[in-house]
Amino acid sequence: MEIAFYIAGAVAIVATLMVITRHNPVHALLYLNVSLLAHAMLFYLLGASFAALLEIIIYAGAIMVLFIFVVMLLNLGKETAEQERKWLKLKVWAGPTMLAAILFAEFLALVLSSRQSTYSPAVVSPREVAVSLFREYLIGVELAAMLLMAAVVGAAHIGRHKKLVLHRFLKEEKEREEEKQEEMVL
């Protein structure tokens, strides 16, 4: 099964490369989806079937749909692709890529110089994960729930548009109040 691991890893790397170099947002999103599916394959091969399922359901299913909705809402099409083509010049990406490559080379050297360990991944069943999640990490689960709640409220607040006051008298009253306030400020 090693060959499957290497193939999935290669797919993940190539798809990620495509994500960061595409001009069209929709193409980048589709490549990211492929990359996520490759990640799910890697998780499964590492014996983490629960993580693989979560990756497909939540990441490739839910989060990517959010991204696609936003890209559709913003109507990012050909113009954005043109703009990206203009922005993504060699002198823009050469420097950062080189620096990141140096960092990765350091990481490579560190990992390769460490003691080689034989690796036989154990299969961790969803049952063990659930028991650990709701026993030792219960406080973490509750904190995650609060985080998600805060995210929902925050997203609803940030995404809200300014409401127009529909009743004409109310509108006039509001305007008058605003004028009064401006006068007071002046």
Scan residues 8-47 and list those touching other proteins (CB under 8 A). Answer: 9, 12-13, 16-17, 19-20, 25, 28-29, 32, 35-36, 39, 42-47
Asked if 56 touches other proteins (CB under 8 A), the answer is no
**To the nearest whole angstrom, how small is the minimum distance from the Cβ of residue 9 to other proteins?**
5
Residue 39 CA to residue 1 CA, distance in Å, equals 16
Q: Is 175 exposed, middle or buried (0-12, 13-18, 19+ CB in 10 A)?
A: exposed
4 in contact with other proteins (CB under 8 A): yes
Instruction: For the CB of residue 164, give the shortest distance to other proteins in the complex, in Å.
Output: 15
CB 33 within 8 A of CB 53: no
User: What is the spatial distance between Cα 178 and Cα 96, in angstroms, rounded to a whole number?
Assistant: 50
> Please, which residue, 58 or 165, has the CB nearer to other proteins?
58
Q: Residue 167: CA atoms inside 13 Å, Cβ hemisphere, count? A: 4
Q: Sketch the per residue contact string, 131 through 160, with other proteins: x for CB under 8 A, - otherwise.
A: xxx---x--x---x--xx-xxx-xxx-xx-
